[in-house]
Amino acid sequence: MADNIQLDEGTSGKYALTDDVGSSRHAQGVKLCYSADGVATFIDADAFGLKTQGWYTGEPSHYNGRFTTAQTGTTLITGVSGDKIYLTKLSVGTGGATAALVTFWYDLSAETVFATGTDPCVWEGKLAPNTDGYPGFVMGGSGRAFSVSGAYDCLKLTTDAAITLYVQAEYYIL
C-alpha cells in the first residue's frame, strides 16, 4: 500500500501525511509547532532530535588548546549571533612557573577586553604553578551546562601573564 491518504474534499488534491506500516494500516505523521491564530511556527529538528529545550543528546564538540603566552580576549569557541554555547565541561591544567589571573568569559567575536560585572564570566581565578605542583580545575562533567545566548557568541580567554595553560572543553552550539 502507498504512503499518504487523500483527503475527501472534493477535488482539492490535498493529502494527509502517513506512513504505510503494513497490514492495511497507516500511521499519521505529525510536525510540532507553536502558533498564534492563523500563523504556525514549526519546531526545528535534525539528526539529534527536536530542539524543544535547546539541548542535544548527540555527542558534544571538543576544544583543545595550549597557550604559553599572555592571552587578551582569545576566542576559543565561536557560535553565531543568537546561538547558545552550552559548555558542558571545562578542564584547565597549568605548567611552567609563571602565575597569572585567568579569565574565561563570553563576549562578541570582536571584543578583546573582559568587562567585570557586564560580560558573563565562566571562571576567573589566580593559577600559580610552582615546584610543589601544577594547579588546575575542572568544571562540569556531571551533566551541568553553562550557557549564554543573545549577543555573546564566543567563549574567550584572557590572562594577565604568560602562563602555560592546557585547555579542554566539551560544548554544544545551539
Q: Which of 111, 106, 132 is nearest to 121 (CA)?
A: 106
Q: Domain-by-domain residue ranges, the chain?
A: 5-48, 61-173
Q: How far apart are CA 32 and CA 74, in angstroms?
A: 40
Tell me what pLDDT residue 146 has: 61
Rounded CA gap, 34 and 21, in Å?
Answer: 28
Handedness of CA 71, 77, 79, 82 (dihedral sign): negative
What pLDDT tens digit does each residue of the chain (174 aa) get? 566 666 666 666 676 777 777 777 777 777 777 777 777 777 666 555 655 454 555 788 899 999 999 999 999 998 776 677 888 899 999 998 899 999 999 888 888 999 998 888 899 999 998 877 788 889 886 555 566 656 677 899 999 999 999 999 998 887
- CATH topology assigned to domain 61-173: Jelly Rolls (2.60.120)
C-alpha cell at 14: 490535498
pLDDT score for 18: 75
Question: Residue 100's closest CA among 77, 63, 130, 120?
Answer: 130
The pLDDT of residue 163: 95
Q: Is 3 helix (H, G, I), strand (E, B) or coil?
A: coil
CA angle 11, 13, 14 (to 5 degrees): 125
Quick one: pLDDT at residue 80? 72
Cell of 78: 565561536
